[in-house]
Amino acid sequence: MNVDTVMNDLVKRHPGEVEYHQAVREVLESIEEVYNDNPHFRTAGIVDRIIEPDRVFIFKVPWADDQGMVHVNLGYRVQFNNAIGPYKGGLRFHPSVNLSILKFLGFEQIFKNSLTSLPMGGAKGGSDFDPKGKSNAEIMRFCQSFMMELWSNIGPDTDVPAGDIGVGGREIGYLYGMYRKLARENTGVLTGKGLNWGGSLVRPEATGFGCVYFAKEMLATRGETFEGKRVAISGFGNVAWGAARKVTELGGKVVTLSGPDGYIYDPEGVSGEKITYMLDLRASNEDIVAPYALEFDSAAFVQGKRPWEVEVDIALPCATQNELDGSDAGRLLANGCTCVCEGANMPCTPEAIEKFQEQQILYAPGKAANAGGVATSGLEMAQNSMKINWSREEVDERLHHIMKNIHGNCVKYGTGRDGYVDYVKGANIAGFLKVAEAMVDQGLL
Ligand code: NDP
């Protein structure tokens, strides 16, 4: 396999899908050597087969607002690969959603899900619908219309969607309600469900918790802990919330949060009642970052900037893709940051990653570090199948164990001759090998 040749063909076939190209190139560069060392992968055409989704559904989602005006959005589901288990991956509702972003996310999901060691394939979906500023009734009508089209293509043993940006517990509720009515079954077809109707304890905070567990393991390789460390977090959503809680619990101080318009700098730390306030603001469905700075005297809102200019020891990007570029990386390094662990999917650009790795600081990609979310979704599926509920401690312990295991696999496949751990390479190789071998075992499909 030659990466440039494969990429040229892919770009020709799917012009303009830049996020998708970026994600595929990164994986291919990591696995090139191991792929070429295993001729049975080439014979089975694994690369050509794994970089294209199995299928993509695109559909119209008509819905009426509270004034009776009709709107039409696009809905998508990208079923990428199900060699090791049912398709699994979140739904994103955000105006930026397009096929390229969902293909990048679905592709990444294959390797992330493989890393969890649970039987889950890769998928992603969503819509260009913007939930911001919409009433509950509007959100419900949109979710119902979305599910009316999607339901026949998913199922507890075929494709199990979950939340992502813009899709939290409320949206999962409306989506699940409509699925249940149409399919006439109460099953684990979505994860992130409410506790009273099949959800798992710890799922809401699992991605953020898992990311911090992963960072804890990375720090331990250098004899460090979170105790007393200053931490920059971006985003103000589900992942940022879980990460802020766990960092605080482990003795670190979270000094930033952010939104698309700027960031909050709170040198006294985002903890206790501030985290509760953050949760309340999120539930309001309105613009949320600036009001936080008004509420707490210790905090300032820095408009139009990213949090990466603040002096911190650890950075946890938890908002969205490509939110930390080469110049942000330069600033973080100049300020003494020694650990970057991705809560979001692909938040660091390739230039930023190159800088981190050149300086040999600890850097972990989202596909390893944020796998705790989907891992706990996997645990929710297991509980649904067995029709039992595990305790908070039991789920958290399993999550912790899974994150440790993923870290161990990254170290196994990513440690170079000089002892530096390339977590990108480690995650990509470990995730890839399992899926590739499964595809070989199962024949040409
Ligand atoms: P949420 O919608 O809960 O939160 C996203 C946050 O990021 C919001 O505060 C949003 O602000 C902010 N944001 C969006 N765009 C930008 C931007 N351009 N610059 C700065 N901030 C921005 O989503 P999640 O927390 O669920 O997801 C965050 C990331 O984590 C995504 O990359 C997602 O794919 C990934 N992820 C999520 C998992 C999960 O379990 N939820 C699992 C694994 C990965 P605003 O609301 O004002 O737009």
C-alpha 238 to ligand 1 mean position (Å) = 7
Give the confidence band of 288 by pLDDT, cuts at 50, 70, 90: low
Alpha-carbon gap, residue 278 to 116, rounded angstroms: 29
The mean pLDDT value for 253-281 works out to 91
**Residue 435 confidence (pLDDT):** 98
pLDDT digits (tens, 9 = 90+) for 291-349: 888 888 899 999 999 999 999 999 999 999 999 999 999 999 999 999 999 999 999 99
How deeply is 266 buried, as exposed, middle or buried, from its count of CB atoms within 10 A (0-12, 13-18, 19+)?
A: buried
Protein residue whose Cα sits closest to atom 30 of ligand 1: 344
The number of the ligand 1 atom at minimal distance from the alpha carbon of 257 is 9
**Residue 172 confidence (pLDDT):** 97
Give the percent of the chain with pLDDT over 70: 99
Protein residue whose Cα sits closest to atom 40 of ligand 1: 373
Tokens of 173: 């509720």
Give the confidence band of 19 by pLDDT, cuts at 50, 70, 90: very high
C-alpha 393 to ligand 1 mean position (Å) = 26
Among 131-145, 206-220, 285-299, 392-406, name the one with the lowest average pLDDT: 285-299
Question: How many beta carbons lie within 10 A of that of residue 412, not counting itself?
Answer: 12
pLDDT digits (tens, 9 = 90+) for 100-128: 999 999 999 999 999 999 999 999 999 99
Protein residue whose Cα sits closest to atom 36 of ligand 1: 344
The number of the ligand 1 atom at minimal distance from the alpha carbon of 105 is 34
Angle at alpha carbon of residue 398, lines to 394 and 402, rounded to 5°: 170
The mean pLDDT value for 209-234 works out to 98
Alpha-carbon gap, residue 428 to 425, rounded angstroms: 5
The number of the ligand 1 atom at minimal distance from the alpha carbon of 112 is 43
Alpha-carbon gap, residue 258 to 68, rounded angstroms: 35
**Residue 256 confidence (pLDDT):** 96
Instruction: Please report the domains of the chain, with CATH numbers, ordered by start residue.
Output: 51-187 (3.40.50.10860), 206-360 (3.40.50.720)
Residue 92 has pLDDT above 70, yes or no: yes
Among 32-36, 257-261, 309-313, name the one with the lowest average pLDDT: 257-261
Protein residue whose Cα sits closest to atom 18 of ligand 1: 260
- Find out whether 269 and 230 touch, Cβ atoms under 8 Å: no
376 CB under 6 A from ligand 1?
A: no
Residue 286 has pLDDT above 80, yes or no: no
**Residue 295 confidence (pLDDT):** 86
The mean pLDDT value for 373-384 works out to 97
Alpha-carbon gap, residue 353 to 340, rounded angstroms: 9
Alpha-carbon gap, residue 114 to 51, rounded angstroms: 15
- Residues marked active site are found at 124
208 CB under 6 A from ligand 1?
A: no
Alpha-carbon gap, residue 285 to 308, rounded angstroms: 26
